[in-house]
Homo-oligomer: A and B are copies of this chain.
Amino acid sequence: MLVTIQQSVSDLSSAEKRVAQWILAHPKEAVGATLALVSRESGSSEPTVVRFCRRVGLNGFRDLGVRLAESLSSPASYVHRDVSPDDSSADAVLKVMDASIQSLIEMRSQLSAMPIDKAVAAMTNARQIAFAGLGASGHVARDACHKFFRLGVPCSSLNDTPMILQFASIAEPDDVLILLSHTGRWTEFSRAAELASGRGATVIAITNPESELANKATLLFPCQVIEDTSVYTPMSSRLAQLALLDAIHVALALASGETAVDRLRTSKNALNSLPDHAH
């Protein structure tokens, strides 16, 4: 709808053009606005607004609200600019959500290029799995640990470099080390990858494919780092990592067959059976 208006703005009369411009500038307000409000804000009369609606192919003013509502929540707009300081907070919030959705959609499209089956195979036979991440990735690591341990495999999360290096240096061949890093720039991670894979462990890296870490890993899950052009840019890539780990988790549960599924169900029931108490 907004693009339709944009296109037909050229063959509108000057008063109608004012209407179009106001709507394009304040699409969010225009949704659910009254005829009187639009005419006042755009500096033209009510019939002009109605005539504008007819001109862009609508039935009347009533239609405009509906169509604008539709187009504002349409998937075409998930690709948005970065948040800028003069955005209203409602705009900003929408943009952040759009960026998050977009990063998941991109991740989905690259899913077929990822070594999920190999990762699952390694994890099925693993003696233990360790998730390593610093800073924001640390939370992802902890989250993954919390999720995977319910499958019955011993899990741990490593959240500082000494722990990661220590784990790597005593890793055994049937251990799996999963390294989470957005940039892949920490040299300690590369060292850990070398150490662990040198000892025969499977090293899975979820990181920027351009990085040094990416080369050192046994299995690579490439995660495009969305450039942080703005300080506001949220950590949407972290969401993608979480979703990816969710996916791997489910794949692993399927591969492990009944036992793992039973364990999941049991631990879930354990939660449900005590609805009124803290653990």
Minimal Cβ-Cβ distance residue in B for A28: B112
Judge whether A139 and B146 touch: CB under 8 Å.
yes
A251 to B104, CA, bound (A): 21
Bits for A225-259, please: 1 = Cβ < 8 Å to B, else 0: 00010011011101100110011111101110000
**Contact A246/B100 with A73-B71, A139-B143, A254-B83 known, Cβ cut-off 8 Å:** yes
CB-defined contacts of A268 to chain B, threshold 8 Å: 228, 231
A271 to B210, CA, bound (A): 19
CB-defined contacts of A116 to chain B, threshold 8 Å: 89-90, 93
How many copies of this chain does the complex contain?
2
Bits for A185-214, please: 1 = Cβ < 8 Å to B, else 0: 111100000000000000000000000000
A183 to B275, CA, bound (A): 9
A residues 16-32 in Cβ contact with B at 8 Å: 31-32
Bits for A70-88, please: 1 = Cβ < 8 Å to B, else 0: 1111110000000101010
Among the listed B69, B249, B271, which residue makes an inter-chain contact with A69, where contact means beta carbons less than 8 Å apart?
A: B69
CB-defined contacts of A172 to chain B, threshold 8 Å: none
A268 → chain B closest CB, angstroms? 6
A46 to B62, CA, bound (A): 19
Residue A265 interfacial (CB < 8 Å): yes
Residue A168 interfacial (CB < 8 Å): no
Among the listed B74, B188, B232, which residue makes an inter-chain contact with A253, where contact means beta carbons less than 8 Å apart?
A: B232
**Contact A239/B243 with A104-B101, A120-B89, A142-B142 known, Cβ cut-off 8 Å:** yes
Among the listed B94, B98, B250, which residue makes an inter-chain contact with A96, where contact means beta carbons less than 8 Å apart?
A: B250
Residue A11 interfacial (CB < 8 Å): no
Bits for A119-158, please: 1 = Cβ < 8 Å to B, else 0: 0100000000000001110010011001100000000000
**Contact A85/B250 with A71-B73, A108-B97, A142-B142 known, Cβ cut-off 8 Å:** no
A33 to B23, CA, bound (A): 23
Judge whether A242 and B239 touch: CB under 8 Å.
yes
8 contacts between A and B (CB under 8 A): A66-B66, A73-B73, A83-B254, A89-B254, A97-B108, A135-B271, A147-B235, A239-B239
